[in-house]
Structure 1
Amino acid sequence: MSVEEKSTANIDTHTSENSSNQLESQTNEELRWYDKRIVSWIPAYSEGYFQIVLLAFACFMLPGMYNALSGVGGAGIDLKTANNSSVALYSTYSGYGFFAGWICNIIGVRYSLMFSGVGYALYSGSLLYYTKHPGTSGAGAFVITAGALLGVCAGQLWAAQTSIIISYPSEDKKGRAIMTFWVIFNLGAVIGSAISLGNNMKNGSSMASDSTYAAFIALMGVGVLVAGCILPAHKVWKDKIGGQRVIQQQYPHWKVELINMLKLLVKDPRIYFVFPMFFTSNWFYTYQFNDFNAARFNIRTRSLNSLLYWLSQMIGAFFFGLILDWTRFKRTTRAKIGWGIVFVFTMVIWGGGLHFQQEYTRESAPEMSLIDFKEGRYIGPMFLYFFYGVYDAIFQTLIYYLLGCMSNNPKKNSIYGAFYKSIQSAGAAIVWRLDYYEISYMSMFASCWGLCAGSLVIAAPLVFFFVSEHTEAEEDDFNGEMINVASHVEHKE
């Protein structure tokens, strides 16, 4: 037996022994309250699916509400200040986000999420302050500073989110888990947009009302409390009680985690194929929110558009998630089908968007009357914005699914999530800055379409040649140590 084979055998033996000891310990002790099902058809609190739903509701209150604010264009304040704040947000997000997975593996998912929630609430508070003191340098500086802090907080939140969303479910249920999260998460943006619409129904200006921001601050505070209810990963069962825990409890040294993060870039080069998709995944928000929604619609119609945009994401994620878990096909085939659907949508939806964009320019838009939802001319762009939302959902879901095909290891996935969000934010910081410098609307539109199509083409080799039917336990161990027990069990089920 080779040294490598002996090492693998030792890992499997160690894993098997820990698995048996864990189950024996659980059998001998009385189940804790979070391991019991109060209602037979509702998962126990410690089951992975329940924790995913709880995570989704925390994100419902935090980035979901932030998305509702962003979706109305310029967060309801003037576009230049909002753009500068977004540049600050995504710049810090990009820099810090690269290391967020490393931090998440040290402090855990619960504290990562709670810390993040504070940043979201503070950002909404800065917008409320700005509406009270519009145009002042202090108010503008507060919004920009809050945006920079939010970049750090958001990086931490999404590293924890990625670790949970693609590590807790079994391989045949990852599409469903992503779908469940995306539907609940975007319901937050839908409700947030409904709040904005209700508060601004009689508002004919381009600025949101004070009560809009006050409502968002309160909801984000609740989100912090929900995040505090997330269980530590080592207390969570992957599928059902009596099966396997998600991960052993560990307290890694920060130097070890940093080295592991750097090793991952060398040991798993497949990740480079989806880097362009990472970069693109938030690029089109600037065009859709500012150069489409804010440029052509009044505030109440922008709020309605935002509601429809996030509602369409729920619908898109629901059906796309079912397709990605369609057991009629192998996982390798499902990945190809998913890629094909997104590529076709790229051509059709952005092709439709070209017709509407040709009707106005950055120079002509200020002289044109803003569209109201009561007008007949609203119907066409309403459907276009709706399908922009569908596209965002399936594009992001495909990224999560491909990452889930690459690993079942929570520590590895938190680092994948950090890479994803860091590179995503780098792209967003660039495009928000381009919008600040008033690059032509057509150029902004063309960059969105080109990057979406191009990034999918670059990701094609991963989809067609490197997605396997199962993720083997040995290849999922990126640091030479025992990996999570669930990876071994998954193939026996």
Structure 2
Amino acid sequence: MFKLPRYNSPMTQVVLVGFVCFLNPGMYNALNGMGGGGQVDHTTGSNANTALYCTFVVFGILGGSIVNLFGVRWTIFGSGFTYALYSGSYIYLNHTGKGSLTIAAGALLGVGAGILWAAQGMIMVSYPGEEEKGKYIAVFWIIFNLGGMLGGILPFAINYHSNQKSLVDGVYIAFVVLECLGAFLSLALCPPARVVRDDGSSVVLVKYTSARKEAIEIVKLFLNPTMLALLPMSFVSNFFYGYHFNCFNSGIFTVRTRGFNNIFYWGAQMVGSYALSFLFDKQEWSKKKRGLVIFTIVAVFFNVIWGGTLKLQLRYTHGPSENGDTDYPGGSIDFLEHSRAAGPIILYLLCGIGDALYQNFAYWIIGALTNDNQKLSRYAGFYKGIQSLGATVAWQLDAKKVTFMHQLIINWALLAFSLVPMFFVVWNLKDHVNDAVPDNEDAVVGKEYTAEVDEKASA
């Protein structure tokens, strides 16, 4: 008989944070996937994303410490409303043509997103036991990307009979409502101090933290050889979104087809994540062997996809604008033009699988380094912060009108470079990490954890 997991079980908490991300970052991804935030002119959207990722760099790195100090509930709750403000700003842009509010909202979203993703990363990779981290990553990624799928259905359905080149207000309003729901859902999360695995062990290892300790630990991240080796991986892990969304999806497809494509782009991520979970948790293989096998799959798959994208990119140089259509042969592609649409749509779908493979592998590597939840919150924040630095550069390439072909070449070159230090980290993975004996006098094991600040923040 099917039995629901306990409220304070790791699985329940990962599912809950998955639905929070379904309604917040998932909706943002869907909107961003339309290209330019659903606007025919990408300039405001690209500048807003640049502002977003500039603040995300800082608050991604600081995010883990902020979560450690103030707890998961209220930090994620406040972060959720920054997503709603960003989506709502496009309504103002639709009616005034002024992008200042959207750019400012993007900067504020970077603050919220940095904190939210640090909390999410800590929950996802520190709550499960060693043998289940792959499964938990897959569960989160599948729920999270349901948000992207739903967000693709909304503009597809609302714009199905519309010939407008930009999204209508109704789409943005729907996004705002869903993102506010996501913010409130975060209040259902259980404080980490109360989360208990099925074997009775607590997920928390340390007694308390302080602003001074967190500041020191952040500095140490940039002196840690493993974290430095993961810098290229982190930098490139979201870099390709600017190309995928603005140069590819928005570059050659009609507005309604972009929404149609995103249903499958994010859906394909669920498939890729689920497939990898079996290898992540294949306990008869050593951690190093699992890492090397998955590394090979990711490296080969991503390079093949970029090869196919290059072949497509050679057929056009620019997307549609207010002055005319794309120069792709035959003009913008509609999904009903089966013979023209099938190949590019399948390639876009495969790009989604590649995204899931790369990012799931990155999280698995981070989770393989330690079981300490506070260390992992900092590692996840570091990953998201450096990831955002890469995204800042990528969105500015588009805002500065760098040619589609040059953007593709930069993406592919950075990916190839990132594989070298990633391989080094995987090669040196150990089968067992021991965080049961913490390295400072403030730490104790398991249920003696009091987490004074976290309890106050979660009361």
Both proteins in one fold, TM over 0.5: yes
Tell me which moved more, 269-278 or 285-294.
269-278
Matched to 1:50, the amino acid is: T
Per-residue CA deviation, residues 147-202 of structure 1 (Å, 9 max, x unaligned), is 00000000000010111111000011001100000000001110111111111111
Aligned to 1:482: 443
Task: State the 1:254 CA deviation.
Answer: 0.8
Q: How many angstroms apart in 1 are the aligned matches of 2:302 and 2:419? A: 9
Q: How many angstroms apart in 2 are the aligned matches of 1:189 and 1:201? A: 18
Q: How many angstroms apart in 1 are the aligned matches of 2:416 and 2:74? A: 37
- Pair 295,479 (structure 1): closer, same or farther in 2 beyond 3 Å: farther
Per-residue CA deviation, residues 353-377 of structure 1 (Å, 9 max, x unaligned), is 1110110113897344111111121
Aligned to 1:107: 70
Per-residue CA deviation, residues 27-76 of structure 1 (Å, 9 max, x unaligned), is xxxxxxxxxxxx96211000011100111011000000110101111111
- Pair 462,377 (structure 1): closer, same or farther in 2 beyond 3 Å: same
Matched to 2:3, the amino acid is: W
Decide whether the 8 Å contact of 1:317 with 1:397 is kept in 2.
yes
Aligned to 2:211: 254
Task: State the 1:479 CA deviation.
Answer: 4.6
Aligned with residue 296 of structure 1, among 252, 274, 293? 252
Q: How many angstroms apart in 2 are the aligned matches of 1:411 and 1:473? A: 11
Aligned with residue 432 of structure 2, among 464, 470, 474? 470
Aligned to 1:64: 26
Aligned with residue 420 of structure 2, among 445, 451, 457? 457
Decide whether the 8 Å contact of 1:194 with 1:303 is kept in 2.
yes
Q: How many angstroms apart in 1 are the aligned matches of 2:215 and 2:158? A: 47
Q: How many angstroms apart in 1 are the aligned matches of 2:283 and 2:210? A: 41
Within 5 Å, which residues of 2 pair with 1:360-379? 360-362=316-318, 366-368=326-328, 369-375=331-337, 376-379=339-342
Aligned with residue 200 of structure 2, among 233, 243, 247? 243
Q: How many angstroms apart in 1 are the aligned matches of 2:304 and 2:441? A: 46
- The 3-state SS of whatever aligns with 2:100 is helix
Aligned to 1:418: 381
Aligned to 2:271: 315
Any gaps of 5 or more consecutive residues in structure 1?
A: 1-38, 487-493
Q: How many angstroms apart in 1 are the aligned matches of 2:389 and 2:155? A: 29
Decide whether the 8 Å contact of 1:409 with 1:483 is kept in 2.
no
- Pair 363,127 (structure 1): closer, same or farther in 2 beyond 3 Å: closer
Aligned to 2:109: 150
Q: How many angstroms apart in 1 are the aligned matches of 2:412 and 2:262? A: 21
**How many residue pairs align between the two structures?**
439
TM-score (normalizing by structure 2): 0.92
Task: State the 1:478 CA deviation.
Answer: 5.3
Task: State the 1:293 CA deviation.
Answer: 0.8
Aligned to 2:346: 383
Q: How many angstroms apart in 2 are the aligned matches of 1:191 and 1:285? A: 19
Within 5 Å, which residues of 2 pair with 1:196-235? 196-235=155-194
- The 3-state SS of whatever aligns with 1:228 is helix
Aligned with residue 262 of structure 2, among 264, 281, 306? 306
Matched to 1:366, the amino acid is: T
Matched to 1:316, the amino acid is: G
Q: How many angstroms apart in 1 are the aligned matches of 2:4 and 2:286? A: 29
Q: How many angstroms apart in 2 are the aligned matches of 1:338 and 1:226? A: 34
Aligned to 2:372: 409
- The 3-state SS of whatever aligns with 2:203 is coil
Work out which structure has the larger RCO, using CA pairs closer than 8 Å and 6 or more positions apart in sequence. 2
Q: How many angstroms apart in 2 are the aligned matches of 1:208 and 1:149? A: 22
- Kindly indicate whether residue 236 of structure 2 is the aligned counterpart of residue 280 of structure 1: yes
Q: How many angstroms apart in 2 are the aligned matches of 1:451 and 1:274? A: 13
Within 5 Å, which residues of 2 pair with 1:354-365? 354-362=310-318
Decide whether the 8 Å contact of 2:118 with 2:378 is kept in 1.
yes
- Pair 248,467 (structure 1): closer, same or farther in 2 beyond 3 Å: closer
Task: State the 1:480 CA deviation.
Answer: 5.5
Q: How many angstroms apart in 2 are the aligned matches of 1:118 and 1:83? A: 21
- Kindly indicate whether residue 402 of structure 2 is the aligned counterpart of residue 446 of structure 1: no
Aligned to 2:81: 118
Q: How many angstroms apart in 2 are the aligned matches of 1:389 and 1:53? A: 22
Q: How many angstroms apart in 2 are the aligned matches of 1:470 and 1:165? A: 19
Aligned with residue 330 of structure 1, among 282, 286, 289? 286
Per-residue CA deviation, residues 394-445 of structure 1 (Å, 9 max, x unaligned), is 1000100000110111110111011111111111111111111111111101
Aligned to 1:75: 37
Task: State the 1:145 CA deviation.
Answer: 0.4
Identity of aligned residues (%): 39
Matched to 1:106, the amino acid is: L
Decide whether the 8 Å contact of 1:86 with 1:429 is kept in 2.
yes
Aligned with residue 163 of structure 1, among 122, 129, 134? 122
Task: State the 1:245 CA deviation.
Answer: 1.5
Per-residue CA deviation, residues 110-149 of structure 1 (Å, 9 max, x unaligned), is 122111101001111111222232x2x3xx1110000000
- The 3-state SS of whatever aligns with 1:169 is coil
Aligned to 2:454: none
Task: State the 1:274 CA deviation.
Answer: 1.2
Greater C-alpha Rg:
1
- The 3-state SS of whatever aligns with 2:156 is helix
Matched to 1:443, the amino acid is: H
- Pair 330,234 (structure 1): closer, same or farther in 2 beyond 3 Å: same
Per-residue CA deviation, residues 236-290 of structure 1 (Å, 9 max, x unaligned), is 01x21x6111116855221122112223443x42122111010001110000000
- The 3-state SS of whatever aligns with 1:283 is coil
Q: How many angstroms apart in 2 are the aligned matches of 1:326 and 1:224? A: 35
- Pair 481,211 (structure 1): closer, same or farther in 2 beyond 3 Å: same
- Kindly indicate whether residue 295 of structure 2 is the aligned counterpart of residue 339 of structure 1: yes
TM-score (normalizing by structure 1): 0.86
Decide whether the 8 Å contact of 2:205 with 2:443 is kept in 1.
no
Task: State the 1:483 CA deviation.
Answer: 5.5
Output the aligned Cα RMSD.
1.8
Matched to 1:203, the amino acid is: S
